[in-house]
Chains A and B, each alone.
Chain A
Amino acid sequence: MKKIGAKLFILMLWSVFLVTSAYGEIILIGSPGIKVDSLTPKQVKQLYLSRISSLDGIEVKLADSSEIQKEFLTTYIGKSVRAYNKSWIKKIFAEGATPPVIFKNNAEVIDFVKKSENAIGYVSSKPSGVKILLKK
């Protein structure tokens, strides 16, 4: 009985681990032709908070994913979804900044990044046909 209890407990712990790590890594991806090969976490934060809008002189287009936005913000930006959205509204209203385009899921983000020039987005599963710029 004790052995069954212990096994059940381990199974429960494993299930919790699986659920909480369901999204695994958050991968920053770029257009195939983008002239940057990697991003630093600081650059990701600066781009997605509109503190910079270009990399090495190249204006970049940003993609958000509503499916994993919360995880992305926790991992790279350090803000809640509410605080993040509020910061963008301020930037748009004050400076006319262009916000990231929001997509539903990985597939839509990958499609946008593949077809756009100098676009950056994030996904939770390993993509093909795009540049991988940063993983965390």
Chain B
Amino acid sequence: MKKILLIWMAITFVHSLSAPAYALEFNAFGDITFGDNTKEGTSKNESGEHSAFTLGQLDLWGTQPIDREGRLKAFIELVIESPGGGFVVDLERLWVEYSLMPEIQLRAGRFHTSLGHWNRTHHHGSHMQTSVFRPLFLDFEDGDYGVFPSHMVGVMSVMSYDTPIGRFRNEIQVGNGATILKTSDGTELDPQNTSDVGDGKGVATRLTYFPSFLEGLSFGGSYNFNGVKKNDKTAAAGKGTVTDFVDLTIGEADLTYIENNIEFIFEYFWINSEDTRETVKSFKRNSTAWYTQIGYTLADMWTPYYRYEFFDDLDSVDPYFGTDGLNKSAYTQNVFGIRFDINNNSSIKLEGRNLTDSPNKNTATQTVETYSNSYWLQWTFAF
């Protein structure tokens, strides 16, 4: 008996030695930004009188095959950031993927919502995007201007297929629905990482077409649906109350050309919200938003760019954007800048922004439009 046990232990030990061991290599993105914080005013082109250095996000990420055949893969992205006060660690992306065949992959975890080009292409490392900041209305849920569910926790399929006219890529996601979370710290969209306050799930799908007649060109379309509830965790609501709020449907179309040193992006969003609150059920409201960005790289190093953002066509009584919801104001913005790539691992960007903010536009409580200019200098790095 003792001999059998010893042999079993030896076999187990040798087997464990032959099992693959994987060491994840973390990469990092980081940035430090200096901004001339603006002074709001009612006259155009007022410049700011405050300035500050800002430690940007430290983005630690890694991807690792976790089998010998290369069918299983894992991806991790941790972001350390300061929302104000101290620093927090956010698990921004975490997924495991199985490749059924080269054309089809299945994933489970937390990923960026399949909503538009920017949200699926650019994540938390500002080194990888041309500009200093994301378009304001595409800010993350915990950002000052975030209005779209930029993350989803659930399952996802990715399918790519080649045809004579070009390549198609389709993503389908099903996950926890986004919820408006109200706490003593404020109100934001919550992708619900660990639970779902409602039975309905969020769905998202994106189809991208890469035509064979022109390398670098792509056309994309996305659809996203969430039965958004309101989760009020403020003291006034006791331990927290969950109520119906809106059914949010977002449609998106985009055109990009990224080739021959040119970066051109155009994205257009349609936002439909249907009131699901008991007293005002079924009211539907429509809003739109869009942006366009163009940049050109000279000598592999210098990229001047310009972006225009339009978030000025909000339905004035849509509770989703109003004070009862995310409390976001309409705006338009001009962004212009230049990026200098020191090398592949570091860049310096200089950006100017002209923002026209229109809080509560077209409502009874509309306040005066404010105009502000701001200037930003950002040094990014990656390794």
Interface residues of A (CB under 8 A from B): 45, 51-54, 57-59, 61, 80, 82-83, 85-86, 89-90, 92-94, 96, 98
Contacts and interface: CB of A to CB of B under 8 A. Distances in A.
B280 to A, nearest CB: 40
Nearest to A59: B102
The list of the 7 closest CB pairs from A to B, nearest first, reads: A54-B102, A59-B102, A96-B63, A96-B75, A85-B344, A82-B300, A94-B121
Interface in B123-153: 123, 125, 128
A93 B61 contact: yes
Contacts of A61: 70
Contacts of B121: 90, 94
A40 to B, nearest CB: 12
Contacts, number: 52
Contacts of B160: 52-53
B162 interface: yes
A92 B77 CA distance: 12
B63 to A, nearest CB: 4
A99 to B, nearest CB: 10
A89 B382 contact: yes
B61 A57 contact: no
B277 interface: no
A51 B259 CA distance: 13
17 contacts: A51-B210, A52-B167, A54-B102, A54-B103, A57-B103, A59-B70, A61-B70, A80-B300, A86-B344, A90-B128, A93-B128, A94-B120, A94-B128, A96-B75, A96-B95, A98-B65, A98-B73
Interface residues on B, range: 20 to 34
B28 to A, nearest CB: 11
Interface of B: 27, 29, 61, 63, 65, 70, 73, 75, 95, 97, 99, 101-103, 120-123, 125, 128, 160, 162, 167, 210, 215, 300, 341, 343-344, 382
Contacts of A51: 167, 210
Contacts of A57: 101-103
Contacts of A83: 300
Contacts of A86: 344
A86 B73 CA distance: 22
A115 B344 CA distance: 32
A59 B99 CA distance: 10
A61 B71 CA distance: 12
A128 B237 CA distance: 76
Nearest to A88: B344
A96 B66 CA distance: 13
Given A57-B102, A57-B103, A92 B63 contact: yes
A57 B99 CA distance: 12
Nearest to A93: B128
Given A51-B167, A57-B102, A82-B344, A98 B162 contact: no
For A45, A86, A92, A93, which residue has the most chain B Cβ atoms within 10 angstroms? Answer: A93
B125 A93 contact: yes
Contacts of A93: 27, 29, 61, 123, 125, 128
Contacts of A59: 70, 99, 102
A72 B65 CA distance: 27
A114 to B, nearest CB: 18
